[in-house]
Amino acid sequence: MTRVSGSAPLGSAPLGSPARTAGGRAPAPLLRRILLQGQYETITMLRNGEQLILAIVLPLLAMVGLTVTPLLDGLGPSRINVAVPGILALCAMSTAFTGQGIATGFDRRYGVLRFLSTTPLGRTGLIAGKVLAVLAVLFLQVLVVTAVALMLGWQPNAAGWLPGLAILVLGAASFTALGLLVAGTVRPEATLAITNLLWILLGALGGIVIPAERLPALSQAVVHFLPSGALGQALRDAFLYGSVNAGAVLVLLLWTAIAGGAAIRWFKWN
Amino acid sequence: MVRSPESPVLTINGLVKDVGPLPTLDGKMLRVVSGLSLIAERGQVTALLGANGAGKTTTIECAQGLQRRTAGSISLLGQDPDTAGAGLRARVGVMLQDGGLPPSARPIPLLRHIAGMYQDPWPVDELIARLGIDSFSRTSVRRLSGGQKQRLALAAALVGNPEVLFLDEPSAGLDPQSRQMVFDLIAELRNSGMGIILTTHLMDDAQRLADYVYIIDAGRNVAEGTVAQLLRHELPAGDDGQHIRTLLFETEPGLDFTGVLPDGVDITEARAGSYAATGALTPADLAAITAWWAARGIMPSSLSLEARSLEDVFLDISGREIR
Superfamily of domain B10-231: P-loop containing nucleotide triphosphate hydrolases (3.40.50.300)
Planar angle of CA A148, A152, A157, nearest 5 degrees: 90
Cβ pair A8:B103 closer than 8 A: no
Cβ pair B161:A18 closer than 8 A: yes
Cβ pair B118:A13 closer than 8 A: no
What is the per-residue pLDDT for B42?
95
What is the per-residue pLDDT for B111?
97
Which of B100, B126, B177 minimises the CB distance to A115?
B100
**Residue A27 pLDDT more than 70?**
yes
The pLDDT confidence band at residue A269, using thresholds 50, 70 and 90, is confident
**Residue A16 pLDDT more than 80?**
no
What is the per-residue pLDDT for B264?
81
Taking the CA of residue A170 and the nearest CA in chain B, the distance in Å comes to 29
CB atoms within 10 A of CB B21: 12
Which of B188, B190, B197, B209 is best to mutate for the A interface (most A CBs within 10 A)? Answer: B188
List, edge to edge, every strand of the sheet that includes B220-225. B92-95, B164-168, B195-200, B45-49, B212-217, B220-225
Q: What is the pLDDT of residues B243-262, one digit of tens each?
A: 677 888 999 898 888 888 88
What is the per-residue pLDDT for B257?
86
What percent of chain B is predicted at pLDDT more than 90? 58
Q: What is the mean pLDDT of residues A183-192?
A: 95
Taking the CA of residue B296 and the nearest CA in chain A, the distance in Å comes to 44
Residues in chain A: 270
**Residue ranges covered by each domain of chain A:** 29-266
Residues 231-270 of B with CB under 8 A from A: none
Angstrom distance (rounded) from CA B229 to CA B232:
5
> Please, which residues have CB within 8 angstroms of residue A137's CB and are 6 or more apart in sequence?
A42, A45, A46, A55, A95, A99
The pLDDT confidence band at residue B241, using thresholds 50, 70 and 90, is low
> Please, which residues have CB within 8 angstroms of residue A73's CB and are 6 or more apart in sequence?
A79
Angstrom distance (rounded) from CA B2 to CA A33:
40
What is the per-residue pLDDT for B316?
72
**Residue B219 pLDDT more than 80?**
yes
What is the per-residue pLDDT for B237?
37
**Residue ranges covered by each domain of chain B:** 10-231, 245-307
> Please, which residues have CB within 8 angstroms of residue A47's CB and are 6 or more apart in sequence?
B104
Cα dihedral sign for A83, A142, A131, A159? negative
Taking the CA of residue A37 and the nearest CA in chain B, the distance in Å comes to 8
Q: What is the mean pLDDT of residues A1-25?
A: 43
Q: What is the pLDDT of residues A224-241, one digit of tens each?
A: 999 999 999 999 999 999
A76-106 core/surface letters (b: 16 or more CB in 10 A; e: else) = bebbbbbbbbbbbbbbbbbbbbbbbbbbbbb
Arithmetic mean of pLDDT over chain B:
88
CB atoms within 10 A of CB A120: 28
List, edge to edge, every strand of the sheet that includes B266-271. B266-271, B274-279, B245-250, B302-307
Arithmetic mean of pLDDT over chain A:
89
Taking a C-beta distance cutoff of 8 angstroms, is the pair B6, B192 a contact? no
Q: What is the mean pLDDT of residues A174-202?
A: 95
Instruction: Please tell me which residue of chain A has the smallest CA distance to B66.
Output: A114
Cβ pair B96:A115 closer than 8 A: yes
Angstrom distance (rounded) from CA B10 to CA B24:
34
Which of B9, B143, B184, B194 is best to mutate for the A interface (most A CBs within 10 A)? Answer: B184
In total, the C-beta contacts within 8 angstroms joining chain A to chain B are 156
Q: Which helix (H) or strand (E) holds A250?
A: helix A246-266
Residue from B140, B202, B139, B135 nearest B167 by CA: B202
What is the per-residue pLDDT for B243?
66
Cβ pair A110:B177 closer than 8 A: no
B92 and A CB contact within 8 Å: yes
What is the per-residue pLDDT for B238?
38
Angstrom distance (rounded) from CA B91 to CA B283:
50
B24 and A CB contact within 8 Å: no
Taking the CA of residue B98 and the nearest CA in chain A, the distance in Å comes to 7
Cβ pair B89:A119 closer than 8 A: yes
**Residue B181 pLDDT more than 50?**
yes
Q: Beta-strand (E) ranges in chain B? A: 10-22, 28-40, 45-49, 71-76, 92-95, 164-168, 195-200, 212-217, 220-225, 245-250, 266-271, 274-279, 302-307
* 3-class secondary structure, A121: coil
The pLDDT confidence band at residue B118, using thresholds 50, 70 and 90, is very high
Angstrom distance (rounded) from CA B44 to CA B49:
15
**Residue B67 pLDDT more than 80?**
yes
**Residue A3 pLDDT more than 50?**
no
Q: What is the pLDDT of residues A55-70, one digit of tens each?
A: 999 999 999 999 999 9
Q: What is the pLDDT of residues A110-164, one digit of tens each?
A: 999 999 999 999 999 999 999 999 999 999 999 999 999 999 999 999 999 999 9
Q: What is the pLDDT of residues B268-309, one digit of tens each?
A: 888 888 898 888 888 899 999 999 999 999 999 989 887 766
B245-307 belongs to which CATH class?
Answer: alpha beta
Planar angle of CA A210, A214, A219, nearest 5 degrees: 90
Which of B98, B105, B187 minimises the CB distance to A4?
B187
Between the alpha carbon of residue A20 and those of residues A23, B53, B163, the distances in Å are 8, 37, 10
**Residue B193 pLDDT more than 70?**
yes
**Residue A13 pLDDT more than 50?**
no
Cβ pair B118:A26 closer than 8 A: yes
Q: What is the mean pLDDT of residues B37-52?
A: 94
Provide the ipTM.
0.85
